[in-house]
Amino acid sequence: MNNNKQAITIKGTKDGLTFIIDETCSFDQILKELETKLSSSVVDKDHPMVKVNIHLGNRYLTKEMKDDFLQIVRSKNNLIINEITSNVITKHEAKEWQKDLEVSTITRMVRAGQTVHVQGDLLLVGDVNPGGSVSATGNIYILGRLNGIAHAGLEGDRQAVVVAAYMNPTQLRIADLLSRSPDFATEGVYMECAYVDEEHDKILIDRIQMLSNLRPNLRSMERRISNG
Amino acid sequence: MGEAIVITSGKGGVGKTTTTANVGTSLALLGKNVCLIDTDIGLRNLDVVLGLENRIVYDIVDVVQGRCKVKQSLVKDKRFDCLHLLPASQTSDKSAITPEGIRDIINELKSDYDYILIDCPAGIEQGYKNAIAGADKAIVVTTPEKSSVRDADRIIGLLEKEDLGTPHLIINRIRTHMVKTGDMLDINDIIGILAVDLLGIVADDDEVIKSSHHGEPIAFQPNTKASISYRNIARRILGESVPLMSLEDDKGMMSKVKKFFGIKS
């Protein structure tokens, strides 16, 4: 049925080549056709690298399938894969994605020896006492006193921030960076945010009002859907 | 039906035993039937503070292991008929009793007493778990030191997981002059961190040490600051609303005159 129809349509755009993959034919067929199509096209060795975008339509590729696919494209040495897009993701991926975008609200005190961890953003209504710690893969917002440890961007997101109504932490951690309180006793500060300053490669603290300038993507909640 | 209150702190040496002895004595002074239980097996000293060491025949380990009845092990106070002590064992260790064993004892005692105060050992291990097993309520004792407040915070966190309601707080050994100079946490700082209800404050007083030394709880003495504090705590346990007393020393005539006119000095 589909044998007459092309499984792969190649289009040239100003961003390079776009491969549109038919979503109804079998995967073997695609690989076969890809092989023939790419070998039949005459490739000039001196030709600059060509970017390839792949549109899968409503097809889902497992990691193994993707690897097989990429291997064929990469074997043609002047093609580089720019992007693979698909209209579908698995339920599991969708749930993880949703968790990453979610703000989990927790109302409690985090006392000495207690830890709270969430995936995504954390909104804590309560205090973090000395010896207590909170962590999140995203941002941390504390409506209360931060006297303990807060670790935002736990899985390496340096864009993550820690915001607290009262900031007097023993330690602040964002992604792979750490800063600690000075060795002399300090009064905390009210309404502050902590972020990573890429220029100096360290964690800085500023007034909460500066946050929208420092992290423009936080201005609206849709932000990370676009780069999810 | 009585109420069982565990007195705990996490950190050692903040005054759990002294508090148990004095709050128990104060409740007895107010005419309540009180039983004190020492759960610090192996390191007992509630009996020493109460001056009852020489009266002990059986202890709590004997009861749990079935060598005697609960009633047989109770030591009657030498001053009151309504105050009894269930002493800890000096020879065994914490593994000699179980949470279930303690719970059974407390349930049995509840029918005879208005208040059962449980003196908890320091730490958060087996001894602590034994002590809180039969309790309905908890009192956390802390001193105005960072380390002891940290441990109190940890204990409150652990107590919140049990079915004991919000614990109440006693701040012990407050040295007014050190709080003033900022070398000690002040009461508001402590309440701010721990966020629990304050049951009472007790000043650091040499008299407390002296009375423990003589085996006479200070709560008997009519008018030292510490004894008034303990009696106030007992009244608050009974549900009275008693304002916190000032720990400041009134010096000289002027401050008395000012106080008379309601001017804060």
- Over the stretch A43-90, which tens digit does the pLDDT of each residue have? 556 667 778 888 888 888 888 888 888 888 877 767 788 888 888 888
- Inter-chain CB proximity A113 and B157 less than 8 Å: yes
**Region A11-38 average pLDDT:** 84
pLDDT surpasses 60 at B39 = yes
- Whether B251 shows a pLDDT value over 60: the answer reads no
* pLDDT over 90, % of chain A: 46
Mean pLDDT of chain A: 86
Mean pLDDT of A200-222: 88
Is B121 contained in some domain? yes
Least confidently predicted of A79-83, A211-215, B216-220: A79-83
DSSP type of residue A128: B
Give the model's pLDDT for residue B178.
Answer: 87
**Between chains, do A112 and B157 touch, taking CB under 8 Å as contact?**
yes
pLDDT of A208 reads 94
Mutation for A interface: B153, B158, B188, most A CBs within 10 A: B153
Mean pLDDT for B229-236 is 95
pLDDT above 90 for B147: yes
Chain-centre distance for alpha carbon B211: 15
pLDDT of residue A227: 47
- Please indicate if any CB of chain A lies within 8 Å of the CB of B125: no
Tokens representing residue B164 in the block: 């004991």
A 114-143 residues with CB < 8 A to B: 114, 127, 129-132
A147: which chain B residues are within 8 Å (Cβ-Cβ)? Answer: 193
The per-residue pLDDT for B232 is 95
Q: Which of B150, B151, B195 sits opposite A109 (nearest CB)?
A: B195
Confirm whether B128 is domain-assigned: yes
Percent of chain A with pLDDT over 70: 90
Residues 180-239 of B with CB under 8 A from A: 192-195
pLDDT value of position B173:
94
Residue pair A197/A159 in contact (Cβ under 8 Å)? The answer is no
Average pLDDT over residues B182-201: 92
Residues 6+ apart with CB under 8 A from A195: A161, A162, A174, A203, A204, A206, A211, A214, A215
Helix (H) or strand (E) holding A33: helix A27-40
Closest CA to B41 of B95, B116, B104, B108: B95
C-alpha distance from residue B219 to each of B16, B22, B83, B149, B211 (Å)? 15, 5, 13, 25, 9
| ∠ Cα B249 B143 B117 (to 5°) | 105
Spatial distance between the Cα atoms of B204 and B224, rounded to a whole number of angstroms = 11
Q: Go through the domains of chain A in sequence order and give each one's CATH number.
A: 8-85 (3.30.750), 94-226 (2.160.20.70)
pLDDT above 80 for A2: no
Chain A residues within 8 A of B157 when measuring between CB atoms? 109, 111-114
Q: Which residues lie across from A204 on neighbouring strands?
A: A195
Q: CATH number of the domain that B230 lies in?
A: 3.40.50.300
Q: Is residue B45 part of a domain?
A: yes
The residue to which tokens 């970017």 are assigned? A51
The answer to whether residues A163 and A208 touch, using CB atoms and an 8 Å cutoff, is yes
pLDDT in tens, A97-141: 888 888 999 999 999 999 999 999 999 999 999 999 999 999 999
Chain A contact set for B158 (CB, 8 A): 113
pLDDT, greater one: A40 or B30: B30
Cα dihedral value B137, B218, B225, B38, nearest 10: -20
Rounded Cα gap, residues B11 and B25, in angstroms: 23
Residue B247 lies in a domain: yes
Closest CA to B242 of B26, B4, B2: B26
User: How many alpha carbons fall within 13 Å on the CB side of residue A137?
Assistant: 13
Of the partner residues B154, B192, B194, the one whose CB lies closest to the CB of residue A113: B154
CA–CA gap between residue B202 and residue B167 (Å, rounded) = 18
CA nearest A146 in B: which residue? Answer: B193
Higher pLDDT residue, A156 or A66?
A: A156
| Percent helix / strand / coil, chain B, rounded to 5 | 45, 15, 40
Q: Looking at the partner chain, which of A109, A114, A131 has a beta carbon nearest the beta carbon of B150?
A: A131
Does A111 lie at the interface with B, CB-CB under 8 angstroms?
yes
| Nearest residue to A110 via CA among A85, A143, A137, A132 | A132
DSSP B152-203: HHHHHHHHHHTTS-SPEEEEEEE-HHHHHTTSS--HHHHHHHH-SEEEEEEE
Q: Do B193 and A147 touch (CB under 8 A)?
A: yes
Mutate to test the interface with B, among A108, A111, A170, A181 (most CBs of B within 10 A): A111
Residue A204 has pLDDT above 80, yes or no: yes
Give the distance from residue A180's alpha carbon to the nearest chain B alpha carbon, in angstroms: 18
**Residue B265 domain flag:** no
Average pLDDT, chain B: 91
Maximum average pLDDT range among A72-86, B26-40, B176-190, B212-226: B26-40
Give this complex's ipTM.
Answer: 0.80
Interface touch B153/A130, C-beta < 8 Å = yes
Give the residue with greater pLDDT, B247 vs B124: B124
- The band of B217, judged by pLDDT with boundaries at 50, 70 and 90, is very high
Taking contacts as CB-CB distances below 8 angstroms, the residues of chain B near A113 are: 153-154, 157-158
Q: Give how many domains chain B has, as a whole number.
A: 1
**Cβ–Cβ gap B193/A113 under 8 Å:** no
Residue A18: closest CA among A48, A66, A56: A56
The model's pLDDT over B57-105, given as tens digits with 9 standing for 90+, comes to 999 999 999 999 999 999 999 998 999 999 999 998 888 899 999 999 9
Whether A50 contacts A80, CB under 8 Å: yes
For B206, counting Cβ atoms within 10 Å of its Cβ (0-12 exposed, 13-18 middle, 19+ buried), the class is exposed
Q: How far apart are CA B190 and CA B186, in angstroms?
A: 7
For B172, the domain range is: 3-260
Helices (H), B40-90: 46-50, 60-64, 70-73
Confidence of residue B249 (pLDDT cuts 50, 70, 90): low
